[in-house]
Amino acid sequence: MNILKIAIIYNRESQAVINLFGVPNREKYGLQTINMIKTALKSRGHQVRAFEGDKTIIHKLEEFMPSVISGERPGLVLNLSYGIQGRARYTHIPSILEMLGIPYVGSSPLTQAIALDKVVTKMILTEKGLPTPKFTLLNKPDDPLTENLNYPLIVKPKDEAVSFGLRIVNNENELREGARVIYDMFKTPTLVEEYIEGREVNVALLGNDPVRALPPVELIFPEGEKIYTYEDKTHTSGRSVDKICPAPLTPEETEHVQSLALSAFNALGCYDSARVDFRIDQNGEPYILEINSLASLGPEGSFVYAANNIGLNYNDVVNELVEITSKRYFGDTEITNHDQVMDENNKNIFNFLTESRDKIEETLKYWTNMPSRTDDPVALSSVVRKLDNRFRKYHLVPAENFTNMHSAWTWETKAGLEGGTLLVVPIDVPETKEGYPIPFRRDPEWLYGEGIASSRAGLVCIIQTIEALAKIDKLASTKLGIFIYSDEGRGMRYSGQVLHRLGNSANDVLVMQPGYRGGKIVNQRRGSRKFSVLVESGSFRIGYRSTKTDALTWFLQKIEKINKLSQIEKHLTVAVQDVHSDRYGMLLPHRVRATIYVTYLNFQEADDAENQLKNIFNTSKKGIQSYIEKIEERPPLSTSKENDELISALEKLSEEWKLPFGTESSLIPSAAGEISLNTPVVCGVGPTARNLHTPNEAVHRGELLQKALLLTLFLLDRSTK
């Protein structure tokens, strides 16, 4: 695992704020628990310090943390902070950390605010169809009940935790008394909900992708009211509440509460860990009471108790949280001391790239916020000019024989492309000019923006690689070519032939399209053929009695035949992609235009499907005219011995540097299909994407650095052979 600088932030004694007013925090971690957490982290070699979360925290972190995530010791915060005061006190430290750009364990400020507000939480649970007791809110102690609730009821503060003010009330007088105590003590509305007679069970959750539900823990109440009060938690109630893990539930009941807990975790957008508290009624039906987004790491708490049940001791639990968070921010990279495999160039490259993590994201933001949709030639020309300026800065020169100046541009190093590596990336985003571009934005795990995965992340990996090689004076001697094209949205109609010729000059080709989670690159892609169909007929009135058929009806009759052309077992798919019709006034459609899309691996099967499509639309029916034309063809990327050798070289580097790696096939064609079979080529060398070609397109944050590092190491390795 990586050795990290870890700051533990908590709230206990300090009240260092500008003013003290509002609701003070009553939740505190014990010093013994904080010291146990420090010991656990130090046992794995981490550099650890603990700080109070007050107004001095920024200065303390600046002193302790590196200004950027550098080398082998990136920084991280283990957030234990409940805040000093105020309604949204759980959000204070996470908000500061996000402003500073420091990774931290735990959920975002938004999730913390929602989880602390029990009413908002229950509203979200209800909206998601998750079971929670019926409830209402009393803004003032004397407010009327707006819901028909059955006694006994539970009263508790709307936005407090650790069972502050929790009480069972059995009648109107007790209800008003309980609400008055809450209002006087916390100056907050009272949540009133129906008391669920039965068992109390907690489910701890750990992880992100995937989230793991730990075995349920049941609380056993010896005498008195069957609720877990603040006095119970602080051992001042005079009774001992025992725990049983796993809770004595049937396998079906266990699976059900774990599933509900996972759904609640996702509904609130939690990260890393949480605890969901349930009551299970006498009929075995579970109800979610609340979600603890800052589940206690106290050694006697339910979270640690459940983790112990699956073999995680206290040190394991604490360090598992850190590893989960580190993976969320930084991906699967695990780079330890590589002195045994690093020469001076490798060390310099590694240090340069890791120290440039923030710069890489800013560079990605710059290019992502520069629109370049396929049908916007002015914007595309602007991108090309800026790239040309940047490449010339590093003494790359245009390769005029492989540049057509309108859809394809190529640059090469001083050593030239011949016999070297060709990097391929599109600069156009396959969108229309309609609508506003989607700007760059971040969350802890993903980076969002228009074309950020399909174009910009791969482009930035190339730029960063060029800078890294130049940093160690290896760029000029590296045989390298860079091919960018601007007609991805048109299926490489104009640039494809240029790339095909260019590929014959290269020793190997890397296409910087997005890969798959876990560092997987693409070793096989289907080809595609796109057909335009036009059907015309006469214009007929609705209800007109005639033996003649209108264009739309005739076309719809062909849909079933088209669908039958697909052969899933042969990786052949034929589908109608879109349909448009034209008509006059109240008349039936007289013209239909459609697009039919074919994906395939085998050329002969694609030819057969194309011939059958033509036969389907070859008609002699009176009054119907139909036309079909192939408007786009993209060859498949097939596996080959040459490609396997290229993949092996990338895999070897990944193993040496503990980078995630694997291979995957894809249904979507890419520029890799334009490369001849004699030239080794792989695709998906860019970072992992999700929601590709949608407004929520995103690229994995950690893999941005991983793929830039892998690409740079690969080119450096090639230059020494």
Q: Domain end: 623, 656, 691, which one?
A: 623
pLDDT at position 75:
79
Question: How many residues in the chain?
Answer: 721
Same domain, 99 and 223: no
For 151, phi and psi rounded to 5 degrees? -70, 150
Q: Is the pLDDT of residue 221 over 70?
A: yes
pLDDT at position 238:
62
Q: Is residue 201 part of a domain?
A: yes
Q: Is the pLDDT of residue 340 over 70?
A: no
pLDDT at position 657:
86
For 53, phi and psi rounded to 5 degrees? -85, 70
CA geometry: angle at 306 spanning 302 and 310, to 5°?
165
pLDDT at position 165:
64
pTM listed for this prediction: 0.62
Tokens read off for 517: 């989670």
pLDDT at position 18:
62
Q: Is the pLDDT of residue 163 over 70?
A: no
Split into its structural domains, the chain has a count of: 4
Same domain, 215 and 322: yes
Per cent of the chain over pLDDT 90 is: 61
Q: Is residue 595 part of a domain?
A: yes
Q: What is the pLDDT of residues 440-473, one digit of tens each?
A: 998 767 899 999 999 999 999 999 999 999 999 9
Rounded mean pLDDT, 572-596? 93
Q: Is residue 205 part of a domain?
A: yes
Q: 339: pLDDT confidence band, cut at 50, 70 and 90?
A: very low
Q: Domain end: 623, 651, 686, which one?
A: 623
Q: Is residue 208 part of a domain?
A: yes
Q: Is residue 60 part of a domain?
A: yes
Q: Are strands 573-582 and 591-600 parallel, antiparallel or unpaired?
A: antiparallel
Type and span of the H or E element at 553: helix 551-563
Residue with token string 């595609």: 528
Q: Is the pLDDT of residue 212 over 80?
A: yes
Rounded mean pLDDT, 361-389? 94
Q: Is residue 308 part of a domain?
A: yes
CA 130 to chain centre: 24
CA geometry: angle at 601 spanning 595 and 603, to 5°?
80
The CA-atom distances, in angstroms, between 202 and each of 275, 479, 708 are 7, 60, 43
Q: Is the pLDDT of residue 479 over 50?
A: yes
Same domain, 497 and 645: yes
Distance between CA atoms of 11 and 623, rounded to whole angstroms?
81
Same domain, 493 and 352: yes
pLDDT at position 62:
76
pLDDT at position 337:
44
Same domain, 551 and 511: no
Give the CATH number of the domain where residue 709 resides.
3.40.630.10
Give the CATH number of the domain where residue 616 resides.
3.30.70.360
pLDDT at position 129:
95
Distance between CA atoms of 266 and 76, rounded to whole angstroms?
23
Q: Which domain holds residue 593?
A: 538-623
Q: 425: pLDDT confidence band, cut at 50, 70 and 90?
A: very high
Cβ–Cβ contacts within 10 Å for residue 452, how many?
30
Distance between CA atoms of 198 and 323, rounded to whole angstroms?
37
Lowest mean pLDDT among 72-86, 315-329, 358-372, 694-708: 72-86
Distance between CA atoms of 598 and 610, rounded to whole angstroms?
8
Q: Is residue 19 part of a domain?
A: yes
Q: Is the pLDDT of residue 89 over 90?
A: no
Q: Is the pLDDT of residue 530 over 60?
A: yes
pLDDT at position 184:
80
Same domain, 510 and 400: yes
Same domain, 72 and 42: yes
Give the CATH number of the domain where residue 274 resides.
3.30.470.20
Q: Quote the mean pLDDT of the chain.
A: 88
Q: Is the pLDDT of residue 71 over 70?
A: no
Q: Is residue 630 part of a domain?
A: no
Same domain, 600 and 656: no
pLDDT at position 187:
77
Same domain, 712 and 614: no
Same domain, 220 and 367: no
Q: What is the pLDDT of residues 94-140, one digit of tens each?
A: 998 898 888 999 999 999 999 988 899 999 999 999 999 999 998 88
Q: What is the pLDDT of residues 247-273, one digit of tens each?
A: 999 999 999 999 999 999 999 999 999
Same domain, 294 and 358: no
Same domain, 491 and 369: yes
Residue with token string 């010896």: 222
Q: 474: pLDDT confidence band, cut at 50, 70 and 90?
A: very high
Q: 68: pLDDT confidence band, cut at 50, 70 and 90?
A: very low
